[in-house]
Amino acid sequence: MTDSWFAALIPAACVTAAALAAMVVEAFRDRHEHPPIGLLGTIGLVAALAACVVLWDRNQVSFGMIQADNFGLFASMIVLVAALLTVALSAPAIERERLPAGDYYAVMLFAVVGMVLMAMAIDLLMIFLALEILSIGVYVLTGMRRDRVASSEGAFKYFLLGAFSSAFFLYGVALTYVLTGTTRLDRIGAYMAAEAMNTTPLMLIALAMLLVGFAFKISAVPFHMWTPDAYEGAPAIVTGFMSTAVKAAAFAAFVRVFLSALEPLQGDWAPVLWVIAMLTMILGTVVGVAQSNLKRMLAYSSIAHAGYLLVGLIAANEVGKAGILFYLLVYAVSNLGAFGVIVLMATRESPRDELGDYTGLWHVRPGLAALMTVFLLSLGGLPPTAGFVAKWYVFSAAVRAGYYELAIVGLLTSVVSVFFYLRVVVMMYMAEPAAQPARPAAGVLAMSALAVSTAAVFYLGILPTRVLDLAAASVGTIF
């Protein structure tokens, strides 16, 4: 299989087939029938994950603008794991929100196709096309609750600002082509290396426009404005999905472009990213403290985590690159777990996403309270959870590269962020519930997904060496 020219497309093809199957089943099902469309998505995602495992270490199998190197495969597996957890947690949300199951799963799976292609793309045009595929899917998912004003408003803001960022990115691609005569990353890197001592204004403009496009997708300051409203307006499970899978795909492409093709210009873009990372960590943490809505709090948490990931990118060493991949995996299982608890807490009458809704949760739903505690502690970076190892890895990369200020600010903001995570924990354990909350059925599949996320948080926090070694081994195959 891996010697075929088609092999690099197999992971994306598996997910595409599942998305098409979901559309067909939805089109031909009887109104009163409820076929297991989520099972089709699970089969496609598992098949794609298996294909990534088989393609590992297979001499960088490529097909045109797509290359299945270990770096792209690792990032794709993070996306696929996030998508699998999302599918497992989606059934309660679909039933409660009365979402069209076929449309929901098909759109989500097509977005995953864009993410996988983006992680494996070795051409700026393919990165742009993959970016648009995933963006359109996420726009639709954000506004899928058409009867909710907050959902429509969040989707509209996301779409409008996303269109501007896509235009900036495409102009950056066009200017890069004007400069180099190609959109292939390896050829761009060769040109930039040859002209590194003769930087022109056009180079810097192209660099800035590409940076704007990526910064928007990862919710970096000052391109974060859409994040709180989109996260609050979208269904909780969609928020968890786009905060993890989209970030993983975007950072994979970000690393591939800036640490390979544009690495010769590091002296020009590193200071700019230094400022962005500082502002992102500080704003995400400080504003997150003031939030009373749990989804908005996690939105600003996501912004802060984008800043921590940028620290690894700025460090630009092997530890930093591997740290980004490991961090993305840890963040995916931790954040999706937290949003999974929000999904299971919600009722048809109320989303139950205010901090006050979690008062005394330990006394009425101790299992969910314990799970939420684990995920919040991991997001806060407390041992022995995986979040501690992930943050230690990116901050140590900054120290090795001489960026002591970034490491210090990262540590200080991490300490501050622990306050708003522990605030929820204290409310769950130290207070009596104001009223007896409704107890919607959790479902075996959803609870299994939360159990898997919890096991991953502790495994990656206590025994991270194997995964860290895989991440470190993959960064040498970026081209």
Could you say which residues of the chain have pLDDT below 50? Answer: 1-2
pLDDT of residue 325: 94
pLDDT of residue 437: 56
pLDDT of residue 195: 84
* 2, part of any domain: no
Per-residue pLDDT tens over the stretch 2-56: 456 688 899 999 999 999 999 998 888 776 667 788 899 999 999 999 999 999 9
pLDDT of residue 15: 96
Per-residue pLDDT tens over the stretch 434-457: 665 555 566 788 899 999 999 999
Largest CA distance in the chain: 69
* 249, part of any domain: yes
**How many separate domains does the chain show?**
1
The C-alpha atoms of residue 160 and residue 141 are separated, in whole angstroms, by 15
Instruction: Enter the tokens of residue 405.
Output: 């200020």
Residue span of the structural domain in which 286 resides = 7-477
Per-residue pLDDT tens over the stretch 276-287: 999 999 999 999
Instruction: Enter the tokens of residue 172.
Output: 């950056």
Residue 33's contacts (CB-CB under 8 Å, 6 or more residues apart) are: none
The residues that bridge with 293 in the sheet, in sequence order, are 354
* pTM score, whole prediction: 0.94
**At which residue do the structure tokens 């968890």 appear?**
240
Per-residue pLDDT tens over the stretch 224-253: 888 898 998 888 899 999 999 999 999 999
pLDDT of residue 60: 67
pLDDT of residue 396: 95
* 1, part of any domain: no
* 365, part of any domain: yes
* 114, part of any domain: yes
pLDDT of residue 2: 43
pLDDT of residue 364: 84
Nearest to 398 by CA among 416, 410, 388, 413: 410
